[in-house]
Chain A
């Protein structure tokens, strides 16, 4: 099983600031198989990024993803009030290994 470790656990920032979230894998993950989700309290997760760097439909361009191998990053260029939420990375294991999520990074208002 591939373990995804996200850091930091909590990020305290102000609206307008830049957020950089990290996701590190215990072994190499194909960029094609790495996704990011946003979850707000009481809501289901929402797909933000797939293929490590492609934005899902309707996702604003202030969200961007990058990385390869074992290190991936989600960047929010300028935080809007609605961006304060928990973010999860996730790797797709196909039918070869379990799909796994990172433990999440909470982006909170400073």
Chain B
């Protein structure tokens, strides 16, 4: 059974870079037919999709965050990572990683596996 586990800095100072990693266990990040996303949820608010990466390394970011976001994959460690630069208090949130299953002709099977989430606070 595939599992995802987020880890990284829980407290980041304003203007610095937030760094998180999502470790994939019980399966390979290199398996075809999946993309790997980051999603965040500010306290008491809804979900915001940040971006995704394929095992090939191709990415797509939310335009609202694109200038500050980098998602990368490390196939040797079976994990993918998020970097968000120039953070402000508005970036305080629970950050989730998730797997999206994709089918033939781009059919979307939803984000079917999620990590438990990790809280990141931006504060001096």
A92's partner among B48, B64, B96, B100 (CB-CB below 8 A) is B100
- Tell me the complex Cα distance, A104–B114, Å: 18
Chain A, Cβ-Cβ closest to B97: A44
Known: A44-B96, A88-B47, A101-B49. A32 touches B111 (CB 8 A): no
| Cβ < 8 Å to A, chain B residues 20-50 | 37, 46-49
The smallest beta-carbon distance between B20 and chain A, in angstroms, is 15
A20 at the interface (CB under 8 A from B): no
Q: Does B116 contact A (CB under 8 A)?
A: yes
* A56 in the interface (beta carbon within 8 A): yes
Pair A92/B60 contact, Cβ less than 8 Å: no
- CB neighbours (8 Å) of B111 from chain A are 35, 37, 45, 47, 90
Give A36-64 interface residues, CB cut-off 8 Å to B.
37, 39, 43-47, 49-51, 56-57
User: Is there contact, CB below 8 Å, between A44 and B63?
Assistant: no
Min distance, Cβ A31 to any Cβ of chain B, angstroms: 10
Which interface class (under 10, 10 to 19, 20 to 34, 35 or more) fits A? Answer: 20 to 34
Question: Does residue A16 face the partner (Cβ distance < 8 Å to B)?
Answer: no
Interface mask (B88-114 → A, CB under 8 Å = 1, otherwise 0): 000000001010100000111111101
* Residue from the set B106, B108, B115 with the largest chain A CB neighbour count within 10 Å: B108
CA distance A94 to B37 in the complex (A): 12
Chain A residue at minimum C-beta to C-beta distance from B48: A101
What does the 1/0 interface line of B8-29 toward A look like (CB < 8 Å)? 0000000000000000000000
- A81 proximity list for chain B (CB < 8 A): none
**Inter-chain contact A50/B64, CB cutoff 8 Å:** no
Asked if B46 and A56 make an inter-chain contact with CB atoms under 8 angstroms apart, the answer reads no
Give the chain B neighbours of A49 by CB distance below 8 A. Answer: 110
Q: Report Cα–Cα, A57/B107, bound state, in Å.
A: 17
Which among B49, B108, B112 is the interface contact of A32 at CB below 8 angstroms? B108
Which B residues lie at the A interface, using CB under 8 A? 37, 46-49, 52, 58, 60, 62-64, 96, 98, 100, 106-112, 114-117
Extra 9 A-B pairs, beta carbons < 8 Å, given A33-B108, A99-B49: A32-B107, A45-B111, A47-B110, A51-B107, A51-B108, A51-B109, A99-B37, A99-B52, A102-B46
